[in-house]
């Protein structure tokens, strides 16, 4: 083994619980282990990243990782951590989601070499498994008392728990049994909320085949301020660039607090212990430079997207918060431009009205519904004070004619003062 996997998780602050004997098994020999991902959407989000990084650390320690995409379990719904029944997805939607999730996982793990990662889909072994076969071959080995004792079941008894979700732990338990019997998989990993489901698998293996089976869970990621990790006002932060732009993805990590960044740098990057300690010490001497957040945001954005997308995110960041140029602004695609300016006040003007504006003062006041300036007088005053720019070019004359090249043949970016931006849409 190249390093001690459990110790690696421990210093990174990721380890939550580990079944007795697991660490001895992992130091004794190369071990196969897996983590399951339910394809309830056609993209993973950053809430899944801790588990992806767990698999990556597992593989780097010399072990063989399996990423199980739950085409079958996704049809059932895991009650763990849920307060209500999940909407069930159709088979076609699930198969599409599985394909998308597979593509994302392939960015992280190495699928060649002695300990090559493998992907499996539990739909493959459940699709021809009849209900009668399941209750005979699986159900008879686990008692109702054992299943009822699980936290995921107890927490839902008052609000209601369907038979479908009640049986989820048996379905997940059979995944572990199947992988143990067919792939020699001895370890299942997951978030701490998965402990009950995981040990159902170890129990099923023990009772059904007497094989070796171990369990390990990682801490659920929390933020220092108590808000939910991986959520913004707009919802989840997705790995799919169509759902969350690389710019917005980069900004999420860049804007983390010092306390969160000092934890996330260990969990979500592959920096060594020495590198992390040096970075934390450097950050402590000049926290206002936010070096920790910059390294964190660069590492994760590059890994999830690409070095090119990271550079584009930097360019986009400079548009709003730095000294970018008109040329940089003009180089942005419409999609990226709108992503960068998400939340910026917008106003629209017809092409005909735009062309008839006599001066820039007219455009920035009456013609654009007084969104940028409430009156011509206020517009003139700020222009004369040097506080107005259009497309990153400072306006020096309140009576200047409107002769600006539209961004993507459609937009003008007006800036009032240092931080107030307005997007004018010419339609």
Which residues have a Cβ under 8 Å from the Cβ of 396 and sit 6 or more positions away? 383, 386
Q: Give 240's DSSP letter.
A: S
Question: Quick count: other Cβ atoms within 10 Å of Cβ 260?
Answer: 20
The number of CA neighbours under 13 Å toward the Cβ of 184 is 7
Of 378, 391, 377, 376, the closest CA to residue 422 belongs to 391
The total of other beta-carbon atoms located within 10 Å of residue 107's CB is: 12
Would you list which residues are annotated within the binding site for L-tyrosine? 34, 168, 172
Catalytic residues: 40, 45, 48, 82, 86, 172, 193, 228, 231-232
SS3 at position 407: strand
Residue pair 99/41 in contact by the 8 Å Cβ criterion: no
Nearest to 392 by CA among 342, 318, 310: 318
- CA dist., res. 39 & res. 68, Å (int): 10
Do residues 69 and 104 touch, judged by C-beta distance below 8 A? no
Query: What is the spatial distance between Cα 172 and Cα 188, in angstroms, rounded to a whole number?
Result: 10
Beta bridge partners of 33: 65, 187
102 vs 98: CA distance, rounded Å: 6
- Tokens standing for residue 249: 């993805």
Residues 6+ apart with CB under 8 A from 121: 68, 69, 70, 71, 72, 98
What secondary structure, in 3-state letters, does 26-54 show?
Answer: HHHCCCEEEEEECCCCCCCEHHHHHHHHH
Instruction: Evaluate whether 165 touches 74 at the Cβ level (below 8 Å).
Output: no
Binding site listing: 34, 168, 172, 231
Q: How far apart are CA 297 and CA 251, in angstroms?
A: 8
């Amino acid at each position: 083994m190249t390093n001690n996997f459990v110790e690696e998780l421990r210093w990174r602050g990721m380890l939550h619980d580990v079944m007795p004997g697991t660490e001895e098994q992992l130091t004794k020999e190369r071990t196969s282990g897996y983590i399951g991902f339910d394809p309830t959407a056609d993209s993973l989000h950053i809430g899944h990243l801790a588990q992806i990084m767990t698999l990556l650390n597992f593989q780097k320690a010399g072990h063989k990782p399996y990423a199980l995409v739950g085409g079958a379990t996704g049809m059932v719904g895991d009650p763990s951590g849920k307060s209500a029944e999940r909407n069930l997805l159709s088979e076609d939607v699930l198969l599409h989601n599985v394909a998308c999730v597979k593509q994302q996982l392939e960015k992280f793990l190495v699928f060649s070499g002695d300990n090559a990662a493998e992907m499996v889909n539990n739909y493959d072994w459940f699709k021809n498994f009849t209900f009668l076969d399941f209750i005979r071959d699986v159900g008879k080995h686990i008692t109702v008392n054992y299943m009822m004792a699980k936290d995921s079941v107890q927490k839902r008894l008052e609000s209601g728990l369907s038979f479908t979700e009640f049986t989820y732990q048996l379905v997940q338990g059979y995944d572990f049994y199947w992988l143990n019997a067919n792939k020699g998989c001895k370890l299942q990993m997951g978030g701490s909320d998965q402990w009950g489901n995981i040990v159902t698998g170890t129990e099923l293996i023990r009772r059904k085949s007497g094989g070796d089976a171990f369990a390990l869970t990682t801490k659920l990621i929390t933020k220092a301020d108590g808000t939910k990790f991986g959520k913004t006002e707009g919802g989840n932060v997705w790995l799919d660039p169509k759902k969350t732009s690389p710019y917005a993805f980069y900004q999420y990590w860049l804007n983390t607090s010092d306390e969160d960044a000092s934890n996330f740098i260990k969990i979500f990057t592959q920096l060594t212990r020495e590198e992390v300690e040096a970075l934390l010490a450097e950050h402590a001497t000049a926290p206002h430079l936010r070096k920790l957040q910059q390294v964190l945001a660069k590492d994760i954005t590059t890994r999830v997207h690409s070095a090119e997308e990271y550079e584009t995110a930097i360019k986009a960041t400079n548009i709003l918060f730095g000294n970018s140029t008109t040329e940089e602004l003009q180089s942005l695609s419409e999609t990226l431009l709108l992503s960068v300016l998400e939340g910026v006040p917008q106003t629209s003007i017809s092409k005909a009205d735009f062309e008839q504006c006599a001066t820039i003062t007219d455009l920035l006041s009456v013609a654009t519904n007084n969104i940028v300036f409430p009156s011509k007088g206020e517009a003139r005053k700020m222009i004369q004070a040097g506080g107005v720019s259009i497309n990153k070019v400072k306006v020096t004359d309140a009576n200047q004619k409107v002769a600006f090249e539209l961004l993507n043949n459609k937009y003008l970016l007006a800036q009032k003062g240092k931080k107030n931006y307005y997007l004018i849409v010419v339609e």
